Chains A and B, each alone.
Chain A
Amino acid sequence: MIPAAFEYARASSVEEASKLLNKYGEDAKVLAGGHSLIPLMRLRLAQPKALIDINGIKDLDHIKEDGHKLRIGALTRHVTIQNSKVVHEKLPLLAEVAGEVGDNQVRNMGTMGGVVAHADAAGDYPTIALILDAEIVTNQRTIAAKDFFKDLFTTPLAADEIVTEVVFPVANGPHKYIKFRRRLFDWAIVGVAAQKMNGGWRIGLTNVGPTPVRANAVEEALKTGAKPEEAAQHASDGLDPAGDLRASPEYKKHLARVLTKRAIQQAQGQ
């Protein structure tokens, strides 16, 4: 648990960070909250030659209301999202999810941009971003969430590209995120998000594959009037989750169905 040697640079602007990334190329990693990256480095599963620390960049930590959109700066900590009045009013699902991330230490350090850019299958925000058609803004372009989570830990980000904002639509109708886990601070074995929006349901699944999954079949069934328990039977359609120490593939598929039913029912009960 001693990381390999690395160089460290602290950027004070996005431009500077981008330049530094250019300098070190593929061997550099951006350091935001560090709660995913540093454990990987300690186990030497990641051995970046350089860390570009972006925590000193001032204008990346913000939550802005922009018409029917919420713009969340990449450096916004989970705890800020969890406690934000604006988020509670305009996108309460996101506040709920933020409050379920890790433990206090993680929520105090971990960031929106870090989770999105890391693209871990167990990340909670990516599921929300996907089902709400959020946009990931970088220093170079804007990418739709559905085009962003390509594969496990894989995004279209270029070597010198930095996530600066994630833009969500306002959605304050019935919603629920169920994060099924063994311990309070664990990642989801399976997570299910349900959000009523524009008269329809958006349903998403966390950690049932290499990327977040939008449960289209469930959404369709609900649209045609199926009851939650009926529609939820489709939550595992097309899923092929990998088994691990916590759960077998068949159990994960079962959880996807059960938790989808519960998420919709609980959202409806609000």
Chain B
Amino acid sequence: MAVTQLVGAKIHRREDPRLITGHGHYIDDFTRQGTAYAAFVRSPFAHARIKSIDITDASKAPGVTSVYTARDFKSQLAGTHPAAPAFVAEKKYIPERFPIAEKEVCYQGEIVAAVLAETRGQAVDGANLIQVDYEELPAVMDTEKAMAKGSPLAHEGAADNISWDLTYTGAEVSDAAFKEADVVVKERILQNRLAPIPMEPRGVLAEYETYDKKLTIWMSSQNPHFIRLFVSGAMGLKESQVRVISPDVGGGFGSKISPYPEDYLVPALSRLSERPVKWTETRTESIQNATHGRGQYYDVEVAAKKDGTLLGMRMTQYLDVGAYVGTFSAFQACACLMAGGAYKWKGISARTIGILTNRVPTDPYRGAGRPEATHLVERMVDLVALELKMDPVEIRRKNFIQPKEFPYTQNFGLVIDSGDYEKALEVALKMVGYEDLRKKQAELRKQGRYLGIGFSTWIELCGFGPSAATAPATGGIALVESAQVRVTPTGSVIVYTGTHSHGQGHETTFSQIVADQLGVPYDSVELRHGDTSEGTAFGYGTYGSRSLAVGGVAISMAAGKVIDKGKKLAAHMLEAAEEDVVYENGSFHVKGSPDKAKAFGEVAFASYGMGLPEGMEQGLEAVAYFDPPNLVWPFGTHIAVVEVDAETGAVQLQKYVAVDDCGNIINPMIVDGQIHGGVAQAIGQALYEEVVYDDETGQLKTGTMIDYMVPSMGEIPTLNLDHTITPSPTNDLGVKGIGEAGTIAASAAVINAICDALSPLGIKHVDMPASPDRLWHMMKGAGK
């Protein structure tokens, strides 16, 4: 341990001065000499046959060097879009997907041609001159109708629109619970389709060096090693011939995990044209083509006893897969496995159905399945409480898994590592002033005003993950994490991680961990990531709140190996037995003789010199891979207080309290930042955001930031945050993930608050986004 402990300290993010002052290096900041610019022609129709493509005018346009259609890529790219088995190993139907359409387009935005030109503007002008003759086909836009026999098909020639239909647990699993029930509540719960809106859209710059047969790709990705794996395979290259650099990345929220058509097409264009090729996504392209999140509905029934004891649940997830199966799309089915939330149940029956439509594919979006599960169970628990006229706090207290019951094996066999759900709830109740709020609510109701208090006592599974669980889910590669710690001769430290920071602050937190563990100054630790030619052979990227709980632990393990070697060398230098040497505050010394010591820097320098112990190699560096024994399970309580305007239906978020538990905290400021961003994003889902397509034509209606309503600073109230700390027994750092917690928790809190506010009108459930127009119509319908 260092004299001043860095772990747990509120240290400003090291990356911020660079990023905030405009000195970051995002994908559009990179160019290579002789770069040609790509623009893509995209289908204006949701579903159509391509009859012909006329490139004559485009080919003659100023600056245009070449125009390509699907046929040109057949010799360049092989295989179909990867679709990981995830939680749905046996899929019925995965439509073939080539990065560029040849005969049929299946969503608005699907690529049909590519134009290369000397400037970006010329490429776009050229693309506008390409004439595509389409024959429109019926678009499948309604998930429910898409399941019916005789429905139009999202893909011509398919048997039906069902990609998967999996029953995890049949009705028999919850039958006994439902027989015991005094009350059964039912609801259909919608999950609005969301666009990820990273501040930086995607982009790819690729340079294929014809003579060396080497490909370098600069791109905005959460996951550079996986991109290397996928793209090298498709292009017939060895992984060793491909280098992927993912520099500063301005947010991903899950949308930059999976490979995209452009990730294959731009490198292929470079190989075809023998020039570096660059493509930068526009905001409209991003809203149209970046994988969407949510887009589901659930039919749920819950059985309970009169006293509020929860008994059983039956739920079916209907998931709009979109036109193709996203690489990690089926991961969203984890909503089924998480549907029980923080509570004890006798039996849960769960089924997931993945339905193909003519919309852009869905894939993980911050939380991916877990926000849906939280929203579902927290809504249903409130509906039971309403039915039984119970306080929503009481029903939660009554059904929580208790601290002494951890590790707790939940209904689907997943083992929850640790928790103290009631503690977080109690802290939050105190912060919000619960009793006073209920009094205020009663007074306001007398005046015809609608104040509501909403709870979300959320839990999460994250930190993917154990090899036994994740290797089958990805189709072979375990989502463990790698790290390399290198000590230079002068004692400074370079740390390589296989995770990828795109807003998470890894440069800061990971350096805090290493500086503490090695006892070296924080400033002499450098963190590197995002370049497949640096560091370990493989990295696993950042998603699913895994970076600290898996990657951070791997770093700590590698640092431990460095200390182990240092001890051997120090013992040799001090002429002491290795077991007598201890490492403290950046110095190796003999037990009981603190003055008989060698500083870390001295040992580092010596490790590159002569006279090492017999059999010891020069150098001071180590690689570690961490395969976690379990997932980690953060939790917490969020409370939202809203007032719904009785005349306009406008929702005013008056107060927001969040008490979260992510185990040990490395940097409280970064944890709070993650909660802020996550809560804001979920408020977006609850009140503002929805991707809307025309029901008939499949035209995207929310293609700009004007119509796709991301909330701004003005819409987010001050968030009152606190934490409880229940360390995870799963890893030596005792940490859990926090990157998705806010998003997982908050939509339920906000919607529960609105439902609570409107309960005097007999309104029990409200769909998202809870727009003023929607609420006004509901209030009017309720006879007020």
User: Which A residues are closer than 8 A to B by beta carbons?
Assistant: 1-2, 4-5, 39, 43-44, 103, 180, 182-186, 245-248, 251, 254-255, 258-259
Contacts and interface: CB of A to CB of B under 8 A. Distances in A.
B714 A184 contact: yes
Contacts of A254: 776
Contacts of B777: 248, 251
Q: Which 6 A/B pairs are nearest by Cβ-Cβ distance?
A: A184-B714, A1-B282, A251-B773, A2-B124, A258-B647, A247-B773
B125 interface: yes
Given A5-B125, A258-B648, A183 B773 contact: no
B142 to A, nearest CB: 18
A245 B121 contact: no
Contacts of A248: 773, 777
Interface of B: 120-121, 124-125, 128, 282-284, 647-648, 650, 688, 692, 701-702, 704, 707, 709, 711-715, 771-773, 776-777
Nearest to B127: A2
19 contacts: A2-B124, A4-B125, A5-B121, A5-B125, A39-B704, A43-B704, A182-B688, A182-B709, A182-B772, A183-B714, A185-B712, A246-B771, A247-B773, A248-B777, A251-B773, A251-B777, A258-B647, A258-B648, A259-B648
Given A245-B692, A254-B776, A183 B711 contact: yes
A245 B125 contact: no
Contact of A182 (B282, B702, B771): B771
A43 B124 CA distance: 12
Given A2-B282, A5-B125, A251-B776, 5 more contacts: A2-B121, A180-B650, A185-B712, A245-B692, A251-B772
A184 B715 contact: yes
Nearest to B201: A1
Nearest to B282: A1
A131 to B, nearest CB: 22
A254 B773 CA distance: 10
A2 B715 contact: no
B701 A245 contact: yes
A248 B776 CA distance: 11
A39 B715 CA distance: 23
B457 to A, nearest CB: 29
Most chain B CB atoms below 10 A, which of A180, A183, A185, A186: A183
Contacts of A186: 709
A255 to B, nearest CB: 7
Classify the interface of chain A: helix, strand, loop or mixed. loop
A258 B282 CA distance: 40
A180 B120 CA distance: 39
Contact of A183 (B647, B712, B776): B712
Contacts of A259: 648
B775 to A, nearest CB: 10
B332 to A, nearest CB: 25
Nearest to A243: B773
A259 B713 CA distance: 24
Contacts of B702: 245
Contacts of A5: 121, 125
Nearest to A190: B648
Contact of B715 (A1, A183, A245): A183
A183 B121 contact: no
Contacts of A43: 284, 704
A183 B709 contact: yes
Contacts of A251: 772-773, 776-777
B773 A246 contact: yes
Contacts of A44: 128
A117 to B, nearest CB: 20
Contacts of B701: 245
Contact of A255 (B648, B692, B712): B648
A258 B645 CA distance: 11
A158 B284 CA distance: 34
Contacts of B714: 183-185
A17 B285 CA distance: 36
Most chain B CB atoms below 10 A, which of A2, A4, A39, A185: A2
Contacts of A255: 648
A1 B125 contact: no
A247 B124 CA distance: 34
Contacts of B771: 182, 246
A246 B124 CA distance: 31
A2 B120 contact: yes
Most chain A CB atoms below 10 A, which of B120, B125, B776: B776
Most chain B CB atoms below 10 A, which of A185, A248, A254: A254
A44 B121 CA distance: 12
B125 to A, nearest CB: 7
Contacts of B688: 182-183
Contacts of B121: 2, 5
A207 to B, nearest CB: 14
A180 B776 CA distance: 14
Contacts of A180: 648, 650
A258 B712 CA distance: 26
Contacts of B650: 180
Nearest to A187: B706
A258 to B, nearest CB: 5
Contacts of A1: 282-284
Contacts of B712: 103, 183-185
B771 to A, nearest CB: 7
Contacts of A183: 688, 709, 711-712, 714-715
A248 B777 CA distance: 10
Contacts of B776: 251, 254
Most chain A CB atoms below 10 A, which of B714, B715, B773, B777: B773
A258 B772 CA distance: 13
Contacts of B283: 1
A247 B776 CA distance: 11
Nearest to B773: A251
B10 to A, nearest CB: 29
A214 to B, nearest CB: 23
Contacts of A185: 712, 714
A163 B772 CA distance: 37
Nearest to A245: B707
B703 to A, nearest CB: 9
A41 to B, nearest CB: 12
Contacts of A258: 647-648
B101 to A, nearest CB: 23
A71 to B, nearest CB: 33
B24 to A, nearest CB: 21
Contacts of B709: 182-183, 186
A125 to B, nearest CB: 19
A94 to B, nearest CB: 22
B38 to A, nearest CB: 12
Nearest to A42: B282
Nearest to A258: B647
Contacts of A103: 712
